Structure 1
């Protein structure tokens, strides 16, 4: 009989919180802290709310939507959610008993997240636009299908609220939701309220074009503010467990703790971690958990006797889709009962479900097998366990990742998966850390204080545009940096810190914000690098002085300067995590794979690097060598080679043009 061997996962991130209660306490209008911030901007025609799961975005929309109906002359509110189950977050809600001036009331026939055909829902949608009803909830799909039969002008007088806004894409040719939104914004007077817990997509395509994004008023409530203001949750851990062989036979036995309320996501059937038979995987997991399985015909919940102690344990299987009616019963039970009764279920096994919008406040452990292709998906999964709940003091996310094997043909894919999984956790570390304000240190007596760090040579934001990006968009910019193809090499030491900070990061900033001038790019670059290095650094207090670990040494916070910070790789911890967590042979394989990866140079990157190459040649008295052991010299040599090829191509084109003229 299989049995579990409890093992402690070495966390990449461990964060403790103050349990201040600030983010969950309500004011005289019944609003929590994030909702108050959003409501203050209720008059904005385009409003973007960026806030973590469980911060109250749905209720914030209710407050704002009702104000626009009663006080701003709007005729109706349409709420679009990515899937039917999330529609329950916008059900009729009593707000007046808690101090607000109106209740959120939605008629049953305007809840289009109930079962039904696309055709019937499109008809109900168009009927709503021609009626005096004021509130409708539907899926993104229903909104898209209905829009095909409507014109943008039909949305005049409407408040269009889009939940999980990261589903929108600036690639208007492939994103129907993105093109729909653009048409409504340009050809109607509709107000837009966009809500998301992760304002970036799994790919490198931005959510909105820069000129469209600039029209939105952003309200940002970060993860640290949210979790620090809880009443019960005290700490959060994020860790990786690397394994060899089949995950059920090795890793799962070590990390599945049956005493914790757990959401277990098995790997996608197309991934290398999957056995390709998802139902058999669930069966093996059940065998690992217990015996004497009994299924409740009314709820679909499976009860077993635990192998380790014989106690009853309740499991929900959301993987088996052979009987859709049975799974619908399980989903209904989870939505209606499990969120209120802590004894209703102990483990949920899922594949594509139980992610964004899924609410099980008692969940303590998100155990995910395999690399997730999207930072958004990872954040959504972590968000399932970061809800505050009585008796829940610690939340844990564990990612099981297969170690690459030199004998496997897909070693490159395995290495890339490991790198991306680690960089995803590094982004979460940035998100979960407390925020500091950075200012220029004007004299030796100009000391840092609590919440503020003063840095010699630091350039503070000088324009409203840079201030706005720093205030509302810094995490999203870091996500863009971490998802850039060239950055994985930099994060793992294949490119030195100065080149990473002064060449690669400015290149990515220019691509994301083409409207910034050189001064603004440099100000934003410094903000990104300083914020990342400080948040990655370990801070210690000795007497009255604070010291921060930068690279391998501790530095007095009052003595740091921008030149020193530029010598630190802001994401070096990725390699440190890897070196602690895998065997030396696997680490060597990863390093070799990174070194063998071809360096690709873009025109903007070459332009950015050229002045530094000229300075390098002046100092060293020679051209950089591609075979050098120094990563910076190798990188500079690749840039020189790229520029040489560009020059040759241009010369050839001129010769062809000259020959054609003759």
Structure 2
């Protein structure tokens, strides 16, 4: 049976529509492009900017300057798939004030169909020719790397679009290794671009040493969306269902919105294992098929309620490759420019990164996505600014855990990770603040965007400042994807342990070069930034209050100890508890309890003083069978310490016995 309690948005963000990110200067550059162009002299440039911010044109500006003014001879642009190559086609820049146009000859666009071997030959031919620009796929670049010595790239500019692919899988890791060889064996200039803030999710794109060679330029989501002309708001939500998703999808498929439906991978638990049948169910939820255009593959469906004709593109059925190619051609040439060209796109593994449909309003994604990079790319499909589009929505349709099925633990874990991923998106999408130490005697007037906190440790080294400025969201992604932290975020560990034990442990693993003072500075930055961005802010007169631990606190009075008493991502469990039925909530709670975080020595040592104080106040030891989660945890820690003490005493006795025998 299918049930959905009610729609639940985890994130609702409203933007000011300042037009700052879409207006252009005298050279035809938007705000992000201006920032990148200001760093055009860097040999290795790393551009982190959201989809639709204009990264492809930013590359054109920088590359042309390197060709005309920096002595570079050739520019090679590599994209992850052929469909993205069109973003780097010939563009007339002089009409908007720039000094040169971007030109790609037809024979130097290697993103058209053809064999890899033929394209590698064309790539090598380009290096020996007088032509200056070429576009190819990552695969072509990788195969070419294997046939060329690093010095073949002397004098070139190598631009890699969607740079997170360099570590996305085994094949791409090979590309990463080859890229490092070229960096070390030639004078190549590199422009790396990514619409994701997460470097490969589990394996970093670059080692810390390699990344230090890059000059980073970051343009965040808030800067981008707040500076739009048309889009006012963005929602990110989850709908939970029981049974088959094909029975539930009709309840969340808003047919009045331009929508991309991403069905689940056939190997996932949500899949019915018959992708063609799944498309059929979705079409039935829309209405009745009237016809299919033989030239474009576009399906005309009569709306089941209004009778209006909706135009649907099926990118799932790959049995007829020509038909799919015709549909993709239509989407790129017509639907991307004409609002009425298509209404709904159904996709599996497509229509994500680099896919340009500016009219898209709703991304409906079935099933948990383990990759934060994939989530942000999907959201990026609907956050392009377009006339008539005021709201963009990302909806994740996720299966509720079912006690009668064996994968309850996996299902609960997926729910938690999906929610915490959305909370990370909230961090990415919210306004950025600068945090300062509040000293005695400071006035209460703070500049816009600055919050002063008593006891806060500001970054004291360039290394920590650099991580805060360019890598903070990436670090939060690492924290949220940690299995231990996912359980902690659901409330199975007290906030102070989460903030002072778990988060520093992850920071040390991620940045082994930091000393303990730097770890603490970075820890405070992560916790403060997360708590403030997750907190509800209200203005009363000339005062601002933030909701922390179910109460509102004057922002002028907050201190680091108060912030450390709040689990920065506890809303994960609050969201789930409001979104599912009581019986399902009990299943989730029981599963979390059964798989709670084990006690570590770090946690035990951190909690022991609090346990002593608790015992003094209560007049007894904490009881492991208590209904109170804090008391129960304290008792578990005491049992852990008792066991450790016994082990230590046993080891000492063994050593004494060895000593007597010798």
- Name the TM-score, length of structure 1 as normaliser: 0.93
Is 1:492 aligned with 2:490? yes
Structure 1 pair 175–311 and aligned structure 2 pair: CA distance change class (3 A): same
Task: Give the Å deviation of 1:424.
Answer: 1.0
Gaps of 5+ in 1: none
Alpha-carbon displacement from aligned partner over 1:231-286 (angstroms, at most 9, x marks no partner): 0001111111111111222x212111111100011111111211111101111211
Is 1:401 aligned with 2:365? no
SS across alignment from 1:371: coil
Is 1:367 aligned with 2:372? no
User: Contact 2:165–2:172 at 8 Å: present in 1 too?
Assistant: no
| Number of the residue aligned with 1:482 | 480
| Number of the residue aligned with 1:430 | 427
Any residues of structure 2 matched to 1:401-420 within 5 Å, and which?
401-420=398-417
Task: Give the Å deviation of 1:650.
Answer: 9.0
Task: Give the Å deviation of 1:626.
Answer: 6.5
SS across alignment from 1:416: helix
SS across alignment from 1:467: helix
SS across alignment from 2:341: coil
User: Contact 2:492–2:597 at 8 Å: present in 1 too?
Assistant: no
Structure 1 pair 216–347 and aligned structure 2 pair: CA distance change class (3 A): same
> Which residue, 144, 155, 158 being the options, matches 2:142?
144
Task: Tell me, in whole angstroms, the C-alpha distance in 2 between the residues paired with 1:172 and 1:157.
Answer: 29
Is 1:234 aligned with 2:232? yes
Task: Tell me, in whole angstroms, the C-alpha distance in 1 between the residues paired with 2:4 and 2:408.
Answer: 29
Task: Tell me, in whole angstroms, the C-alpha distance in 2 between the residues paired with 1:528 and 1:406.
Answer: 36
Task: Give the Å deviation of 1:6.
Answer: 12
| Number of the residue aligned with 2:319 | 322
Alpha-carbon displacement from aligned partner over 1:492-538 (angstroms, at most 9, x marks no partner): 00111000101111111111111111111111110110000000000
User: Contact 1:448–1:557 at 8 Å: present in 2 too?
Assistant: no
Task: Give the Å deviation of 1:420.
Answer: 1.1
Structure 1 pair 617–540 and aligned structure 2 pair: CA distance change class (3 A): closer
| Number of the residue aligned with 1:633 | 634
SS across alignment from 1:376: helix
Is 1:544 aligned with 2:542? yes
Task: Tell me, in whole angstroms, the C-alpha distance in 1 between the residues paired with 2:64 and 2:166.
Answer: 24
User: Contact 1:370–1:399 at 8 Å: present in 2 too?
Assistant: yes
Task: Judge which range, 204-213 or 451-460, deviates more.
Answer: 204-213
Any residues of structure 2 matched to 1:546-625 within 5 Å, and which?
546-597=544-595, 599=597, 606=601, 608-609=602-603, 611-616=605-610, 619=613, 620=615
Any residues of structure 2 matched to 1:382-401 within 5 Å, and which?
382-401=379-398
Task: Tell me, in whole angstroms, the C-alpha distance in 2 between the residues paired with 1:212 and 1:652.
Answer: 50
> Which residue, 478, 503, 506 being the options, matches 1:508?
506
Task: Give the Å deviation of 1:444.
Answer: 5.3
Any residues of structure 2 matched to 1:20-39 within 5 Å, and which?
20-39=18-37
User: Contact 1:315–1:348 at 8 Å: present in 2 too?
Assistant: yes
Structure 1 pair 346–644 and aligned structure 2 pair: CA distance change class (3 A): farther
User: Contact 2:312–2:342 at 8 Å: present in 1 too?
Assistant: yes
Task: Tell me, in whole angstroms, the C-alpha distance in 2 between the residues paired with 1:294 and 1:476.
Answer: 46
User: Contact 1:112–1:137 at 8 Å: present in 2 too?
Assistant: yes
Task: Tell me, in whole angstroms, the C-alpha distance in 1 between the residues paired with 2:155 and 2:621.
Answer: 64
Any residues of structure 2 matched to 1:188-267 within 5 Å, and which?
188-201=186-199, 203-249=201-247, 251-267=248-264
SS across alignment from 1:148: helix
Task: Judge which range, 165-174 or 222-231, deviates more.
Answer: 165-174
Any residues of structure 2 matched to 1:238-387 within 5 Å, and which?
238-249=236-247, 251-387=248-384
Task: Tell me, in whole angstroms, the C-alpha distance in 1 between the residues paired with 2:289 and 2:348.
Answer: 24
SS across alignment from 1:492: helix
User: Contact 1:199–1:476 at 8 Å: present in 2 too?
Assistant: yes
Task: Judge which range, 170-179 or 542-551, deviates more.
Answer: 170-179
User: Contact 2:168–2:200 at 8 Å: present in 1 too?
Assistant: no
User: Contact 1:446–1:454 at 8 Å: present in 2 too?
Assistant: no
Structure 1 pair 598–120 and aligned structure 2 pair: CA distance change class (3 A): same
Structure 1 pair 21–170 and aligned structure 2 pair: CA distance change class (3 A): closer
SS across alignment from 1:225: helix
Task: Tell me, in whole angstroms, the C-alpha distance in 1 between the residues paired with 2:633 and 2:153.
Answer: 55
Structure 1 pair 446–632 and aligned structure 2 pair: CA distance change class (3 A): farther
User: Contact 1:170–1:178 at 8 Å: present in 2 too?
Assistant: no
Structure 1 pair 550–122 and aligned structure 2 pair: CA distance change class (3 A): same
Count the aligned residue pairs.
652
User: Contact 1:423–1:574 at 8 Å: present in 2 too?
Assistant: yes
Any residues of structure 2 matched to 1:65-214 within 5 Å, and which?
65-169=63-167, 175-201=173-199, 203-214=201-212
User: Contact 1:79–1:136 at 8 Å: present in 2 too?
Assistant: yes
User: Contact 1:50–1:218 at 8 Å: present in 2 too?
Assistant: yes
Structure 1 pair 648–388 and aligned structure 2 pair: CA distance change class (3 A): farther
- Name the TM-score, length of structure 2 as normaliser: 0.93
User: Contact 1:455–1:560 at 8 Å: present in 2 too?
Assistant: yes
Structure 1 pair 439–142 and aligned structure 2 pair: CA distance change class (3 A): same
Alpha-carbon displacement from aligned partner over 1:311-336 (angstroms, at most 9, x marks no partner): 11100000000000100000000001
Task: Tell me, in whole angstroms, the C-alpha distance in 2 between the residues paired with 1:115 and 1:649.
Answer: 71
User: Contact 1:15–1:235 at 8 Å: present in 2 too?
Assistant: yes
User: Contact 2:36–2:47 at 8 Å: present in 1 too?
Assistant: yes
Alpha-carbon displacement from aligned partner over 1:68-125 (angstroms, at most 9, x marks no partner): 1111111211111111101111111111111111111111111111110010011111
Task: Tell me, in whole angstroms, the C-alpha distance in 1 between the residues paired with 2:140 and 2:217.
Answer: 27
SS across alignment from 2:290: strand
Task: Give the Å deviation of 1:598.
Answer: 5.7
SS across alignment from 2:464: helix
User: Contact 2:6–2:239 at 8 Å: present in 1 too?
Assistant: no
Task: Judge which range, 644-653 or 162-171, deviates more.
Answer: 644-653
User: Contact 2:621–2:635 at 8 Å: present in 1 too?
Assistant: no
SS across alignment from 1:384: helix
SS across alignment from 2:416: helix
Gaps of 5+ in 2: none
Task: Give the Å deviation of 1:446.
Answer: 2.8
Task: Give the Å deviation of 1:648.
Answer: 9.7
Cα RMSD of the aligned pairs, angstroms, is 2.7
User: Contact 2:357–2:381 at 8 Å: present in 1 too?
Assistant: yes
SS across alignment from 1:493: helix
Task: Tell me, in whole angstroms, the C-alpha distance in 1 between the residues paired with 2:249 and 2:553.
Answer: 41
| Number of the residue aligned with 2:449 | 451
Task: Tell me, in whole angstroms, the C-alpha distance in 2 between the residues paired with 1:346 and 1:221.
Answer: 31
Task: Tell me, in whole angstroms, the C-alpha distance in 2 between the residues paired with 1:84 and 1:134.
Answer: 20
SS across alignment from 1:305: strand
Structure 1 pair 610–587 and aligned structure 2 pair: CA distance change class (3 A): closer
SS across alignment from 2:246: coil
User: Contact 1:268–1:351 at 8 Å: present in 2 too?
Assistant: yes
